[in-house]
Amino acid sequence: MSKPRRKIQPNEQLILHSEVNGICPLCPTTLVYEKNGKNQKGFEIAHIYPLNPLPKEVILLKDEQLLNSDSDHGDNLICLCNPCHKRYDKDKTVEEYRDLFKIKTDIIKRKKEQNIWSKTSIEIEIFEIIELLVAKDLEFEDNLEYSPKTIDNKTNETITVLTKRKIHRNVQDYFYKISDKFKDLDFIEPMTTEIISSQIKNHYLQLKKQGSNQKEIFDAMTTWLQKQTKQDNREASEIIISYFIQNCEIF
């Protein structure tokens, strides 16, 4: 007996649409388009694991992971444009299932990261570090004494080569300037560095607890700091997170 498809309420459709940023995750199609001056819906809600799998789909996916034991749960739903939904439902392959499974898994992980934002804060003094980094008259300093072995010993294969190089460069250029600025802040308001360091480490541990790898942690912490400080300059947040990797609060 087939399971009846539940009606997806407008609010849940809006959430699912937002999860993919309004773009079909399988192609670059915009999920809402304009026609005759009005916005038109160009998407459908797809079940990643079929709601009522055909016998051949049961066999095909018998060894695959599930996003939720209830195939009608929001964790198993995703927005697709109409053509992609049609293609996915027709003669799906294991590879197609795994691709959507991975996309939705990343979405769920990102939502968990966002939930952590409300549980962790950052001291207002961090703005002074950001102002230092974005100042037009800031001079780069190539720290010849800096050894990349410190970061190399902390990182693993989940950090991409490009990200590791970025961290190295950030530490080489900015580590001592940031360190000196923290000393100035501590002179004015003792314990500032220690408090900010503990907040950074707490957020790192929250991400590590949910199973994020090092690349995901670096990106998530950069986004968190950028959102917390309400600033457009992502590079400044990357530099600060790189500083705390070198300073042992992260990894």
| 23-74 pLDDT tens trace | 999 998 999 988 888 888 999 999 999 999 999 999 999 999 999 999 999 9
pLDDT, averaged across the chain:
90
What is the phi/psi pair of residue 58, to 5°? Answer: -60, -45
pLDDT for the residue 77: 97
Tokens of 71: 């195939």
- Residue 88 to residues 45, 52, 63: CA-CA distances in angstroms? 12, 14, 19
CB 222, CB 231: distance < 8 Å = no
Max Cα-Cα span within the chain: 72
Q: Which residues contact 225 (CB under 8 A, 6 or more apart)?
A: 122, 126, 237, 240, 241
Percent of the chain with pLDDT over 90: 67
Give pTM, 2 decimals. 0.73
Distance between terminal CA atoms of the chain? 51
Helix (H) or strand (E) holding 124: none
CB 174, CB 133: distance < 8 Å = yes
Tokens of 103: 């996309």
